[in-house]
Amino acid sequence: MIPTNSSNKLIIAIIPNVFGLTGEPVNERQLIKHLCKNSKCIVFSFIRISKLLRLRKLVAEIYEEGWSENIVLIPIPLIPPTTIFTLIISLLKTPLIWVLDKFAKIRLIYVRSSTLALGVTTIKSLAKRTCVKIPAIAEDEMLRWRRIISFIYNLADRYVLSRAGAIGVPSPLLLKKLIVRRRVLQKGEIVLVPAGIDRGKIEALKEYSINHNTKDHYIIGFIGYLEWWQGVDILVKAVAKVKDLLDKPVKLLIVGDGPERKKIEALCKELNVHCDITGFVRHENALRYLSIFDVLVVPRISISSTESIIPIKIIEAWALGVPVIATAHEIFRHMNLKDREDIVFCESNLEDVAIKILTVLKNTELKKRLSEKGSSLVKNYYYDNIAQSILKVFEKNDAR
């Protein structure tokens, strides 16, 4: 049943996954929380068949994070092959959304990914109220099969760019790379939808950080999905190099999980690096771990998304006052960030990452400067502001 205790217009959100513990579902849950704060909202999202037995618990956890009763979540079991299935579902949901629009006027249709947006953008009246978030050039993040399926993402991106009322991108740099790669200009408005932070969560965790920060050893940390392009193997080798050069013992804390986990565990054992890998944890717990890092290290490999998108872990580290070492990607130059003032830049190789870790951990003044500067860098990344920027695009269109 559609809730009736909010505004008169309806928001539809179509999200690949709101149930997971990785960055993507965490980002989308927090954005939906703020996007639907004052509106009725229906959220369609896939769920893996293996998680269906825990569906009730997973849904309860999402609402405990702050989703209001105005939001109705409709899970759709995910059947492989994933890409083809999402295309089919995209088309099948479109008549339902068209009917909903006739009975409850739709204010906004927010869709993450072009493949899921194909259906609604085929209908002009729905397309002009659709904001499609294109979070990355999808095939660049795939190590296998990219040549086989890249044409699907190419066609989907080209179609929604030419049809949707608005395109959401994490940064202007990604938009530029997307237009060059897809060879088509967007028809609708552009709205920035980067990874962001929840003000309430961050404020609550700052005191936790003060009370729980370690004093008897250093915690060098990484947080995120363990994929090949994250460069975590480089981090492990760097920690092995510096662990005997510091005045306190060193612990590598990896918050997350993913396909590279076994490789990383074997490497840590081989190099005698004291390392804990938490596996997937709830976002609140991930932030607690992050808040006690002495330094966050992000030695990502250069691909289109890493060059163009600032990851949520860096934004959250800034908000919590945690110093950050990261590969000197183009996005940071675009933001005019200063080395050793806002962030410490590194090359994505063992020697330089090791040098930068020693630089930060041995220089108390540098650590303090980086910690203090972080709080001023996060102002454009609050989810309430991001949600308002999306809504304003469609309010402006309605006024025309």
- Say what the pTM is: 0.84
Whether the pLDDT of residue 20 is over 80: the answer is yes
Whether the pLDDT of residue 382 is over 60: the answer is yes
Give the β-pairing of 10-15 and 40-48.
parallel
Place 296 in a pLDDT band, splitting at 50, 70 and 90.
Answer: very high
Q: What is the pLDDT of residue 293?
A: 94
Place 284 in a pLDDT band, splitting at 50, 70 and 90.
Answer: confident
In this structure, is the dihedral angle defined by the CA atoms of residues 168, 173, 178 and 180, taken in order, positive or negative? positive
Domains within the chain, CATH numbers bracketed: 10-196+382-399 (3.40.50.2000), 199-380 (3.40.50.2000)
Phi, psi of 48 (to 5 degrees): -65, 145
Per-residue pLDDT reduced to its tens digit, 68-79: 999 999 999 988
Percent of the chain with pLDDT over 70: 92
Q: What is the pLDDT of residue 212?
A: 56
Per-residue pLDDT reduced to its tens digit, 166-176: 999 999 999 99
Of residues 148 and 56, more confidence is placed in 56
Place 379 in a pLDDT band, splitting at 50, 70 and 90.
Answer: confident
Between CA 270 and CA 392 the distance in angstroms is 54
Q: What is the pLDDT of residue 193?
A: 94
Whether the pLDDT of residue 200 is over 90: the answer is no
Q: What is the pLDDT of residue 272?
A: 96
Q: What is the pLDDT of residue 108?
A: 96
Between CA 17 and CA 47 the distance in angstroms is 7
| Overall average pLDDT of the 244-250 stretch | 93
